[in-house]
Amino acid sequence: MAQIDKVFKALADPSRRRLLDRLHRENGQTLGALCGQMGMTRQAVTQHLAVLEAANLVVTVKEGREKLHYLNPVPLHAIYERWIEKFEHNRLGALRDLTRRLQGDDDE
C-alpha cells in the first residue's frame, strides 16, 4: 500500500482520529495514559496505534522503560499541500481573474 493510502486509511477511523486529537492536546503519552482516556481495551488501542504508526502519523520514543507516543504532523502537511492548498490556490486565482475582468469592463 502506498504511504499516502496508509495515511487516508488511518484517518478514516474515528477512534484513530480521536487518538490523534488526544496526542495533539498532550504530546508524548504512554499506552497506559491513552487507554485511560479512550474507554477501549488495551488491545484495541494498541492496534489503532499500530495503524497510525505504519502511516507515520504517530512516532514512538523510548524513555527509560516507557514508550511515549508522539503525533507526527508531517504526513498531514503533505496532504494539506497536495489536496487543499492546491485547490485553494486555484480558487483564489479564479477570484483574481474575475476581479480583473470586472475591472476591465469598468474601463471600457
Partner 1 sequence: MSKPSFVYVTYIATTPEKVWQALVETDVTRKYWIGPDPTDRGHVNVSDWKPGSRWEHRRNDPAGTVDLVGKVVETSPPRRLVLTWARPRDAANEAKHSRVTFDIELQGTVVRLTVTHEDLEQDRDMLEGISDGWPKVLSNLKTFLETGRALPQSVAKR
Binding site for partner 1 (CB under 8 A): 3, 27-28, 56, 59, 61, 63, 68, 70, 72-74, 76-78, 81, 85, 89
C-alpha cell at 16: 484513530
- Based on CB atoms, which residue is closest to partner 1, 24 or 100? 24
Residue 72 one-letter amino acid:
N
DSSP 29: B
Helix or strand or coil: residue 67?
Answer: strand
- Based on CB atoms, which residue is closest to partner 1, 28 or 38? 28
CB of 107 to partner 1, least distance (A): 28
